[in-house]
Structure 1
């Protein structure tokens, strides 16, 4: 069984997903605007989540209830961070192995949550199928890039949306290597 891996992420207009120290405080004005920018519809469309340790620990630091209820979540790490919820599984597997496990559990659409490092690894390994990026009208100038590593790849625009907040959301399909120059 095969599953699609979707990198759904917010980024500054200059391509950063967080400040150099990992803070995402610059997203607060957009969050406070009251528009979910299609988040709930996206969340309803996925069956599982894949994230790295740094993103996982950042989510835990926000406090409160686990924000991704009812969906299996595989956290890739070499350590043993605490489990935030029963649906969280800590794994020492490769991204490909984790995707296989989520697919075997019935996940057809997997959200790659945050993390430029994991996103770059999945991208370079050819595991990423879709990219949905919400560009925030903010320039950070420096920070954690959307992709830490990667190879050149052509994209096919599937959908574009704009919101009154100034956010522009672009949904791309990653074309197979054979279609990349």
Structure 2
């Protein structure tokens, strides 16, 4: 059985995960509020991470220690990138190949970290199982969309949470295509 792939992401109320230039500075007031909005519980529930080159380079640009300790991370890229930590694997696999390898290594729940392009690719390939979106009370008007591809899919709400910061978190299960009308 393949590991579950969960897209856990913060988005503006109008569906953007970053400004057009990739900056996420608009998240700073929420981060500074002191509430982790369930992040640590989510992080504890996953066994590995999958990310693309642009997200990886963005994380590296923040500087400091690798922010995802103790979890294997596969970075999909066609180029050469520095290895940020011993549990980071840089490869030219397809998302399917990467998930198969992570499943074989014992991962049961994989976090798809950031990146509307990779999220769209995984969605189109039928790999995405869950979507957890923390909607931030902010309108960007333009930027990088949560999914870089047009899509239609029914979702089943599993959980909803609201926080004093105005963040609303929705946790969905993607329904099989057979369940579409």
Establish whether TM, by shorter chain, passes 0.5.
Answer: yes
Distance in 2, matches of 1:148 and 1:170, equals 20
Matched-pair contact (CA < 8 Å) for 1:155–1:172? yes
2:35 alignment partner in structure 1:
35
1:160 alignment partner in structure 2:
160
How many residues are treated as equivalent by the alignment?
181
1:180 alignment partner in structure 2:
180
- 1:2 CA drift (Å): 1.4
Alignment pair present for 1:128 and 2:128: yes
Distance in 2, matches of 1:46 and 1:59, equals 19
Unaligned runs of 5+ in 2: none
Distance in 1, matches of 2:35 and 2:27, equals 13
TM-score calculated relative to the size of structure 1: 0.99
Distance in 1, matches of 2:95 and 2:40, equals 25
Unaligned runs of 5+ in 1: none
2:24 alignment partner in structure 1:
24
**RMSD, matched Cα:** 0.6
2:112 alignment partner in structure 1:
112
Which runs of at least 4 in structure 1 moved beyond 3 Å after TM superposition? Answer: none
1:2 alignment partner in structure 2:
2
Matched-pair contact (CA < 8 Å) for 1:123–1:150? no
SS across alignment from 1:112: strand
Alignment pair present for 1:89 and 2:86: no
- 1:44 CA drift (Å): 0.0
- 1:150 CA drift (Å): 4.0
TM-score calculated relative to the size of structure 2: 0.99
1:170 alignment partner in structure 2:
170
Distance in 1, matches of 2:67 and 2:50, equals 14
